[in-house]
Structure formats: C-alpha cells, structure tokens
Amino acid sequence: MSLILLRLTIALYSIGLLHSFLTIITRKKILFRVALFGICSGFLGHALSILYTWRETHLPVSNLHQALSFFAFVIVLAFLLSYARYRLDSLSVFIFPLVFILTLAANLISSPQQPLPEILKSIWFYIHIPSTFLGYGAFFVTFAASVMYLIQENELKRRRPQAFYYRLPSLEICDELGYKSLSIGFPLLTIGIVAGALWANKAWQTYWGWDPKIIWTFVTWLIYAVLIHYRLSAGLRGRRAAFMAIVGFIFVLFTFIGTRYLGTAHPYIQR
C-alpha cells in the first residue's frame, strides 16, 4: 500500500519536474500553478505513504530506501514552508527536480524492511532522526537560497543582465531566506545530535562513539555554528555567507551519503 502511494507521489512530483524543464527551456512561467498543485498533492500522498509504513512497523527511516524517501519528503515540506512565506517561484526550479529524483531513487532501491533491533527501540529514535532530517531539509533551503544569491550577485556585478537576472528574486530575499532557514536548521540539527548522544548512551552506554558518521556530522555542525556565529556577531552576510552555506551543505551530503563507504553504526547505511 505504501509503495503504491509512493508511486502515485512520484507521478505527481513529475509534474513539478516538467514545470522546471519547461521554465528553463521556454523562459516563460508555464504550469506553475499546476506544478504546485501536483507537488502539494504529491506531498499528501507521500505523507500517507510514510504514515502507512509507520503504522505497520516504525518511522520509516531505517534503510536507504526509506531514508531517501523521507529526505525528499522533508525537502518538499521545507519548500512549501518557504513558499508560503516568500512566494518564490524560482526556488521551485531547483527543488522540484531534486525531489523527483530522490523519490524515484527511493523507489528504485528496494531495501528489505528490517525490524528495528530491540536495543535501539527508544523515544530518542523519534527525536534523533526526524529532527536531524528536518535540519538537513532546512539546510537544503539555505543551500538553494545561497546558490540563487551567488548567481544574482554575479548578474548584478557583471552589469549585463541575462535570463537569471529576470527570474531570480532580489539579493535581500535570497539572503534573508538563507538566514531564516539556517536559523531553523541549526537548532534542529543540534537537537538531533543531542538526542542521538542520549540515545547512544541508553543503547550502548556511551554518549560518543567514534563512528565516521558521527564525526562528519559534528564537523558539519561546527561549520554551521561558525556561520551562524559570524552572521549574528559580525554581520557576515551576502557572498561569503552564501559560500559558507554551500560548503556546509556539501558536508551534509557527505555525511548523509558519503559516509556509508566508511562503515558506521548508523542503520540504513548497513546493507
């Protein structure tokens, strides 16, 4: 059932993909309302699919299939929230294809549904994983806003406007969105890490395992901590802040996907 719902979700998300393609090719806003509707209903389908699996077993984030699907879900959530606030159509061009690819990849990878080891069953599971994921979703928005900022800044500095100049929002909006999403993502990641430590203590009687994933997550956290510190104290903004946010997100990606090749105690990396 949840797989059927997920496939329906992919079909709906593909409208978003189509929108992005048409927007880039024709340079005209086509289908945005339709695409937004598709993404919204896809989001509902996605939510139902996740709830369905949850009811059968547990929050579906314990293998790669589920993790990708859940990450896509979180990104759509982050997009819808920022759209509700800023009405940025241009953001959709970045986000819809990514969401589609993530969901499609989740669908293609079939990982066996493994029961959660008894030792890991804990309330911390429900705090550690969702808040880390939501944090990453927010950081993705920070990343997208930073990329938009750099492109628009480049257009303005070059003083010869091309297509992006007309399509992208103002620098102020890009910067603000980058900052707001950062200041939502950072506490979430912090909560995720703390919850993870408490959970580890309960399961393995240690707060801190020298697991590659944990180390990389900590490095990621440090980068965002430095960024948020300079933003608050020294008024760091614009170009440099955008660069840092992009570097931070590269670390997020590595933590999320890259560390699977290094061996780790984090479940969905183990096959």
Partner 1 sequence: MNLVLVGVSHKTAPVEIREKLCFPEPRLPEALQELKSRYDHEEGMILSTCNRVEVLVNTTNLDDGVRQVKDFICDFHRLRNEFLEKFLYDFTQRDAIRHIFRVASSLDSMVLGEPQILGQVKSAFNYAQTAGTAGSVLSHVMSKAFFVAKRVRSETGIASSAVSVSYTAVELAKKIFNELSGKTVLMLGAGKMSELAARHLTSSGISHVLVWNRTYQRALDLAAVFRGHAIRPEELFKHIEKADIIISSTGASSFILNKTDGERLIHLRKNRPVFIIDIAVPRDIDPEINKVSNIFLYDIDDLRNVIDANLKQRQRQAQFAEEIVRQEVESFVNSATAMDVAPTIVSLRNHWESIRQQELAKSKNRLGALTQDQQAAIDSLTQTLLNKILHGPISELKTLSRNPAAKEHIETIKRILGLKDR
Give me the residue label for tokens 């599971």: 125
Q: Which residues contact 159 (CB under 8 A, 6 or more apart)?
A: none
Exactly one of 112, 160, 205, 210 binds partner 1 (CB under 8 A); that residue is 160
Nearer to partner 1, 117 or 161 (CB): 161
Give me the residue label for tokens 């669908």: 107
Q: Are 175 and 241 in contact (CB under 8 A)?
A: yes
- Contact between 159 and partner 1 (CB under 8 A)? yes
Query: What value, to the nearest 5°, has the Cα angle with vertex 185 and ends 183 and 189?
Result: 125
Closest approach of Cβ 235 to partner 1, in Å?
3
> With CB under 8 A as the contact rule, which of the stretches 54-62, 69-77, 214-222, 229-237 interacts with partner 1?
229-237
- Contact between 82 and partner 1 (CB under 8 A)? no
- Contact between 33 and partner 1 (CB under 8 A)? no
Q: Which two tokens stand for residue 99?
A: 């969401």
Q: Which residues contact 215 (CB under 8 A, 6 or more apart)?
A: none
Q: What share of the chain is helix, strand, coil (3-state, %, to 5)?
A: 80, 0, 20
Exactly one of 34, 57, 161, 250 binds partner 1 (CB under 8 A); that residue is 161
- Contact between 152 and partner 1 (CB under 8 A)? yes
- Contact between 27 and partner 1 (CB under 8 A)? yes
**Binding-residue pattern over the window 230 to 249 for partner 1, x denoting contact by CB under 8 A:** ----xxxxxxx---------
- Contact between 2 and partner 1 (CB under 8 A)? no
> With CB under 8 A as the contact rule, which of the stretches 110-118, 119-127, 170-178, 198-206 interacts with partner 1?
170-178
Q: Which residues contact 127 (CB under 8 A, 6 or more apart)?
A: 191, 192, 195, 199
Q: Are 191 and 131 in contact (CB under 8 A)?
A: yes
Q: Which residues contact 1 (CB under 8 A, 6 or more apart)?
A: 52
Nearer to partner 1, 161 or 263 (CB): 161
Closest CA to 91 of 30, 41, 142: 142
**Binding-residue pattern over the window 180 to 209 for partner 1, x denoting contact by CB under 8 A:** ------------------------------
User: How many residues belong to the site for partner 1 (CB under 8 A)?
Assistant: 23
> With CB under 8 A as the contact rule, which of the stretches 69-77, 120-128, 141-149, 169-177 interacts with partner 1?
169-177
Positions in the binding site for partner 1 (CB under 8 A):
27-28, 152, 156-157, 159-162, 165-166, 169-173, 234-240
